[in-house]
């Protein structure tokens, strides 16, 4: 169990997101509700992008009997709460660090896989008729200080030279003229790969596609106990016990020890918070010269990420909060509203209509973990997308389906993502590790 407030894991606590108001509800027969006493080929725990994609591809491509269990409604976790940034890479390491640690070949495989992941989201939306409201041609990585342009220049050069991606550096004046301006805009890197989307529309669209393919999806089915007996996984829930030959763990930042003992302690859930404004007027947009639909993130270690939504609502997100308590949610909202006004002064007094939060999941090595448990080759996992899971998670779910279906091998997983997350020393101290890291990053940002 994590140190966060129990309300963060309670599916009965409203998320309060704008996405919930805008996304069409699931059609009849998609979420089958609490699972009873059932048997299947593959059980998937986690009803977000990873689990739903895995269920879709197992049922559609391999004709397997699949049942998926989710504690809350389908898409209740990070998949229905994130900022809708379909981009890459899902890592806390810079491109240079990835190359230094894994070599150009494996770093190249990693980045290529995630470019493919963005393309997968587009193809899933097209093939399954998911109206995910795409926005923008690529993303902007914005220098929040003049000194940060050197790092963006290095990032551009690596993307161009090593990874074959035609990223382009935009000077401050060009960004101010063609994209937007603010007190923390000193140039930007345009990465042509990526776009914005409505994340809960995507999650519910994946769920509908998986159900059409024959997967059986069960919300309100929290796993309270897991045991292995006579070649069967037995997953106990309040409403019944599911038996399966193989098990997929796709729980990301909401991972608990009840599913796979010991896995949760190797993960670092980090709180991410989002606020959204009322629709901005034409005059308010002009005051910041806002002209872009490209999703943006700045160069702060404790980054701000932001984008203009359809209807001219502005989404502004940030890391923070170490407890998950309701009073700290209110404190973070006040902090973010103040910082929004400091970065975009013309919007200082604009009403905030929505705020919500959820978990980003990280590992000690600062990359995702995809694979099969060494001590039980019938258990597969994919998690820890470091805040960039909108494309990485569906791609990982498809890869797990291919591993289970015999169409892929573990060696097909790029080295930066392969294998179980490394152990975190003294995991009971994770809150203090995180507190120290956040303090250090604040000093760096200054």
pLDDT band, residue 289 (cuts 50/70/90): very high
Which domains does the chain carry? 8-82+200-267+365-426 (3.50.50.60)
- Overall average pLDDT of the 372-381 stretch: 95
Give the start-end residues of each E strand in 250-398. Answer: 268-277, 296-298, 304-308, 314-319, 352-362, 369-373, 376-383
In 3-state terms, what secondary structure has residue 192?
coil
| Phi (first) and psi of residue 92, to 5 degrees | -90, 0
pLDDT band, residue 438 (cuts 50/70/90): low
The answer to whether the beta carbons of residues 145 and 185 sit under 8 Å apart is no
Residue 31 is classified by DSSP as: B
For residue 1, pLDDT beyond 60: no
For residue 161, pLDDT beyond 70: yes
- In Å, what is the CA distance from 18 to each residue of 75, 82, 196? 14, 11, 15
- Confidence (pTM): 0.96
> pLDDT for 185-223, tens place per residue?
999 999 999 999 999 999 999 999 999 999 999 999 999
């Amino acid at each position: 169990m994590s140190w966060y407030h129990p309300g963060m894991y309670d599916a009965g606590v409203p998320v309060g997101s704008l996405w919930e108001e805008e996304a069409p509800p699931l059609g009849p027969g998609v979420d089958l509700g609490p699972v009873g006493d059932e048997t299947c080929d593959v059980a998937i725990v986690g009803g977000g992008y990873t689990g739903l994609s895995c269920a879709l591809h197992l049922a559609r491509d391999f004709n397997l009997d699949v049942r998926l269990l989710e504690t809350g409604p389908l898409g209740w976790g990070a998949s229905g709460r994130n900022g809708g940034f379909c981009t890459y890479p899902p890592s806390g390491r810079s491109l240079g660090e990835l190359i230094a640690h894994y070599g150009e070949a494996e770093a190249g495989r990693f980045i290529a896989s995630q470019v493919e992941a963005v393309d997968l989201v587009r193809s899933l939306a097209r093939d399954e008729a998911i109206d995910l409201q795409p926005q923008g041609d690529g993303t902007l990585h914005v220098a929040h200080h003049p000194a940060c342009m050197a790092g963006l220049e290095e990032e551009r050069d690596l993307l161009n030279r090593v990874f074959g991606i035609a990223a382009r550096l935009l000077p401050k004046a060009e960004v101010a003229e063609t994209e937007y301006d603010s007190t923390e805009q000193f140039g930007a890197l345009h990465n042509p790969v990526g776009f914005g989307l409505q994340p809960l529309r995507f999650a519910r669209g994946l769920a509908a596609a998986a159900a059409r393919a024959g997967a059986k999806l069960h919300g309100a089915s929290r796993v309270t106990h897991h045991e292995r007996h006579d070649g069967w996984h037995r997953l106990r829930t309040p409403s019944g016990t599911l038996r399966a030959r193989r098990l997929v763990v796709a729980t990301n930042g909401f991972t608990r020890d009840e599913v796979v003992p010991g896995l949760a302690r190797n993960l670092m859930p980090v709180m991410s918070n989002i606020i959204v404004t009322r629709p901005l007027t034409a005059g308010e947009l002009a005051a910041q010269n806002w002209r872009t639909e490209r999703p943006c993130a700045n160069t702060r270690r404790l980054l701000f990420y932001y984008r203009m939504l359809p209807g001219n609502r502005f989404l502004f997100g940030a890391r923070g909060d170490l407890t998950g308590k309701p009073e700290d949610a209110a404190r973070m909202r006040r902090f973010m509203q103040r910082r929004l006004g400091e970065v975009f002064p013309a919007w200082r007094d604009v009403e905030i209509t929505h705020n919500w939060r959820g978990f980003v999941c990280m590992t000690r090595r600062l990359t995702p973990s995809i694979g099969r448990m060494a001590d039980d080759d019938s258990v597969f996992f994919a998690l820890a997308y470091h805040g960039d899971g909108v494309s990485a998670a569906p791609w990982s779910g498809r890869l797990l389906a291919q591993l289970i279906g015999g169409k892929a091998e573990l060696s097909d997983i790029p080295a930066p993502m392969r294998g179980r997350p490394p152990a975190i020393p003294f995991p009971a101290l994770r809150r203090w590790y995180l507190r120290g890291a956040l303090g250090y990053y604040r000093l760096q940002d200054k």
